[in-house]
Amino acid sequence: MTTSTNLPTSPLFRETLAHATEYWRDAWQRSVLTMDVLRQRGNLYLEHSRAGKPPVLVFDYEMVMDGRELERAANYALVRIVPPEGCCATNPQKRPIVVIDPRAGHGPGIGGSKIDSEIGLALRGGHPCYFVMFFPEPVEGQTIECVARAEVEFLRRVRELHPDSDGLPLVIGNCQGGWALMILASVAPKLVGPLLLAGSPISYWAGVEGKHPMRYNGGLGGGTWPASFLGDIGNGHFDGAWLVHNFEQLDPANTYWSKPYNLYARVDTEAERFLTFERWWGGHFLLNREEIDWIVQNLFVGNRLTSGDIVSADGEHRVDLRNIRSPIVVFASWGDNITPPQQALNWIPDLYADVEDIRAHGQVIVYCLHDRIGHLGIFVSAGVANREHAQLVSAIDLIDMLPPGLYEAKIEDTRPDMPNLELLGDRYLIRFEPRQVSDILALDDGREDEQAFEVVRRVAELNQKTYDQLVSPVVRAASNDMTAMAHRLAHPSRVERYTISDLNPLFWGLPSLAEKTRAERTPVSADNPFLQWEKKASKLIETQLDNFRDLRDQLSEQLFKSIYESPWLASVLGVDRSERSSQTKGRTLSLREQLDRLNIREALHNFDRGTPLDGFVRVMAYIAEDHAVDERAFKLLRQLVEAGQIQASTLAEFRETVQRQSVVLMLDEERALAGLPLLVPQREDQFKLMDAVLKLFSAAGPLQAGEQILQRYETVRSIFGIDIPHAELAPATPPLPHTPVSSVKVVAAKPAAKTVAVAKPKTATAKATAPVQTKAATAKPAAKAKPANKPAAASTVAKAPVSTVKNKPASKAKPTVAKQPTKAPSAKPSSNGKAATSRTPASKPAAKKPAKPTLQ
């Protein structure tokens, strides 16, 4: 009796056998090729080490300054990037760009490891580009202070090489290079231009509960002594491979499975990218024990960067981040598990009480948040480089001229229906939206969890003293160069590289086998069921490792909280967990000290003195308050300057004017507006100014009736006594070719009821009843601001006594343009501390020539 089905010859069996044969042949070939790529990685590691571990830059460079030759030597150097063949030549007149890479275990060069990178973008823009690199081993006796002094000398040399550039250098600090840049800018603020912090941790205790476990490592390790111990067994040198090891343990699924599996699954196309990255990832550098001790004690565990507690060894310099006068741009990502947005941004509320405090210090802070990119993607992703980095760098001149305040950068794709699309040079539009300090705090889940880290710091200090006195001498006595080398060679990150290399005889026959395999390579079809099962199995393994990570992190967080949130431990150590004293230290300056520091006394003389440029900037700053700034308006501004409609000689002059007028508006908005006719006394200049202002604010689209911008614009027109419909403003100056005046319009804008002539101010007396109410004072704003029919004579407003300027400005105060005669307080205070009443005659604005502004 025979069966109807012959299993070995059935179609299903033959098909399954064919799929299995195809898959196992492909799996064998991929295994051979993967092992050969790992062998190449090991050889690349050895070659890179023999060559002295040079930067992994894809660009040629020339040595400019070697920090090892300085009086306070450091293993850093300044090099100039040579533009590659086919790239445009650099323009020495353009703003130089300096990139500082992180010294966090790896070598330098990640910021320029691709053509599409920070350095590549700078070269494509024609900017002179410099790179701060470092060598594998530190100089004997080198400290972080030596490094900071070397970087100061580097920036001074860049300034000397480009004395005629159109701005101070843009300095980019990647990751750990960011805190080094902040220190540099705080002690030498006149050497740096805008700062770009990319994935840089500044507030080390910050984070969201259940998401950012790396901040707990210091507490769970007992403080800072483990770093000192690793420095001692390294005979005074700390092995950067341990820092890399910590990064890898954050995501074990990626370290132990996803990264090697992705190489195995895409070995035909992934090899070059994998080897390029591994050349940098496996290049481990050393630090002196003094350096790593300073980093972990003052930053990682101590978190003293924002408290003003860091002082130079000679006591001459204190690191106060509020000394920075250049705009600060922060780029962070929600997908970054090493430097989450909270650690990149929480230094802002640590330093400044509110946005008015930021403005009082003349500071501009811009932050940009990516949705999902990981930490390394911030530096190596071509997509991020061509979008976020490109837009931030291209808009740096605009950022340099923003009024002091806090902004969020928003980048979006352009659309065909966007107004003035021809002003944009590429597919993206960047705008800067005003934010409050409360918006930064809203990114966190509260800062109460940071109180436990005060206890961690105290425990770390006690354990460090115990280790230094009892353990460190014994460990140092047992260490020498040979034992230190043995410990470094035994590190797992090095073992996995040199064991799978040509040093191992087991792999000597692998190159020929791999060459034969490539010649016979037959990839498996994408729909092969065995390949689909492989992918599902890989996903399952990755999920299980992620579950292990989440469980580990959860247990670590619970253990940390059970120890360091315990009231008895804080009580025993004498730590007051009810307040975060370190972050508020140094902010208690007296009013007099703040006035002297911010030069507000000088600003009190600028209400009715200045040039038409001062008037233009004052009007722009007043109208644009709390509104987004669009790059289209900035590019149109450049064209207006080139056409002569706005008088501004240099970018630096414009920025000084913005800073000066921002302080004036902050002190007393009403008085600042009243002084506009004296800054722009000529009737023709007033028409030009208002015409330019209308064009700039219409660059993003027609203004809508009822908008605050339009209301404030009407207020300024009333101050100038201009009551002409918008359509009649245009002939004041010929339209620019790219923006016809007919396209600049206000939607549903109603002209004033009647034309108001500019009346000649009469001599009048004004009785002062109280000191000048400034915007800085906590005064109740007027219920409704009505434009006056006559321009106020700003000269009738007497100078306010310095003592009446309050430290904390009110958030909003609508201007009320006073009719003449204007009440003006006397500048002379009475003996009881109140301003004495006096009569101040009004003067004719046209008869007084505006004084030359005083540059701060």
Q: Of 8-17, 134-143, 283-292, 547-556, which range is least confident?
A: 8-17
Give the pLDDT band (50/70/90) at residue 589: very low
pLDDT in tens, 44-62: 999 999 999 999 998 999 9
329 within 8 A of 366, measured Cβ to Cβ: yes
Give the pLDDT band (50/70/90) at residue 580: low
Give the pLDDT band (50/70/90) at residue 599: low
User: Does position 717 have pLDDT exceeding 70, yes or no?
Assistant: yes
User: Does position 591 have pLDDT exceeding 50, yes or no?
Assistant: no
> What does the mean pLDDT of the chain come to?
81
d(CA 782, CA 802): 23
Going by their DSSP bridges, the two strands 60-66 and 76-82 should be labelled as antiparallel
d(CA 434, CA 366): 9
C-alpha distance from residue 794 to each of 27, 171, 414, 782 (Å) = 84, 41, 44, 19
413 within 8 A of 428, measured Cβ to Cβ: yes
C-alpha distance from residue 12 to each of 21, 26, 349, 534 (Å) = 14, 21, 68, 21
Check residue 318 and report its DSSP letter.
Answer: B
Q: What is the mean pLDDT of residues 157-172?
A: 92
User: Does position 131 have pLDDT exceeding 50, yes or no?
Assistant: yes
Q: What is the mean pLDDT of residues 528-549?
A: 96
**Predicted local confidence at residue 711, as pLDDT:** 87
pLDDT in tens, 222-258: 999 999 999 999 999 999 999 999 999 999 999 999 9
**Predicted local confidence at residue 111, as pLDDT:** 79
Comparison of pLDDT for 425 and 665, the residue scoring more: 665
> Which residue shows structure tokens 């910590």?
246
**Predicted local confidence at residue 467, as pLDDT:** 97
- Tokens encoding 774: 């400034």
Phi, psi of 723 (to 5 degrees): -135, 55
Phi, psi of 765 (to 5 degrees): -110, 150
pTM of structure:
0.81
pLDDT in tens, 358-386: 988 889 999 999 998 999 889 888 888 88
User: Does position 689 have pLDDT exceeding 70, yes or no?
Assistant: yes
Check residue 624 and report its DSSP letter.
Answer: T
96 within 8 A of 162, measured Cβ to Cβ: yes
pLDDT in tens, 185-234: 999 999 999 999 999 999 999 999 988 889 999 999 999 999 999 999 99
Q: What is the mean pLDDT of residues 790-804?
A: 37
Q: What is the mean pLDDT of residues 562-572?
A: 92
Q: What is the mean pLDDT of residues 518-541?
A: 95
Q: Residue 189, SS3?
A: coil
Q: Of 358-362, 546-550, 775-779, which range is least confident?
A: 775-779
pLDDT in tens, 642-662: 777 777 667 777 888 888 888
**How much of the chain exceeds pLDDT 70, in percent?**
80
**Predicted local confidence at residue 368, as pLDDT:** 96
Q: What is the mean pLDDT of residues 401-418?
A: 90
Please choose, from the candidates 286, 187, 281, the residue with its C-alpha nearest in 3D space to the C-alpha of residue 230: 286
**How much of the chain exceeds pLDDT 90, in percent?**
50
Q: Which long-range contacts (CB under 8 A, 24 or more apart) does 721-730 make?
A: 721/756, 721/757, 721/758, 721/759, 721/790, 721/791, 722/686, 722/687, 722/690, 723/751, 723/752, 723/754, 723/755, 723/756, 724/751, 724/755, 725/751, 726/694, 726/751, 729/687, 729/690, 729/691, 729/694, 730/691
Q: Residue 314, SS3?
A: coil
**Predicted local confidence at residue 594, as pLDDT:** 53
pLDDT in tens, 101-125: 999 898 998 878 888 888 988 898 8
d(CA 232, CA 293): 11
Comparison of pLDDT for 327 and 638, the residue scoring more: 327
476 within 8 A of 15, measured Cβ to Cβ: no
Give the pLDDT band (50/70/90) at residue 626: confident
Please choose, from the candidates 652, 622, 645, the residue with its C-alpha nearest in 3D space to the C-alpha of residue 712: 622
User: Does position 782 have pLDDT exceeding 70, yes or no?
Assistant: no
**Predicted local confidence at residue 608, as pLDDT:** 83
**Predicted local confidence at residue 244, as pLDDT:** 93
**Predicted local confidence at residue 796, as pLDDT:** 35
User: Does position 789 have pLDDT exceeding 70, yes or no?
Assistant: no
Q: What is the mean pLDDT of residues 593-601?
A: 55
User: Does position 742 have pLDDT exceeding 80, yes or no?
Assistant: no
**Predicted local confidence at residue 811, as pLDDT:** 40
Comparison of pLDDT for 4 and 432, the residue scoring more: 432
User: Does position 804 have pLDDT exceeding 60, yes or no?
Assistant: no
**Predicted local confidence at residue 649, as pLDDT:** 64
Tell whether omega for the bond before 821 is within 30 degrees of 0, i.e. cis: yes
pLDDT in tens, 434-473: 999 999 999 999 898 999 999 999 999 999 999 999 999 9
**Predicted local confidence at residue 640, as pLDDT:** 82
Comparison of pLDDT for 338 and 806, the residue scoring more: 338
Q: Residue 626, SS3?
A: coil
**Predicted local confidence at residue 835, as pLDDT:** 39
- 328: which strand partners? 195, 365
**Predicted local confidence at residue 578, as pLDDT:** 62
- Tokens encoding 428: 């993206």
d(CA 131, CA 116): 16
**Predicted local confidence at residue 659, as pLDDT:** 82
Terminal CA-CA length for the chain = 108
User: Does position 579 have pLDDT exceeding 70, yes or no?
Assistant: no
pLDDT in tens, 258-310: 999 999 999 999 999 999 899 999 899 999 999 999 999 999 999 999 988 89
Q: Of 12-26, 451-465, 776-790, which range is least confident?
A: 776-790
Please choose, from the candidates 381, 387, 205, the residue with its C-alpha nearest in 3D space to the C-alpha of residue 307: 205
**Predicted local confidence at residue 601, as pLDDT:** 64
- Tokens encoding 138: 């530190």
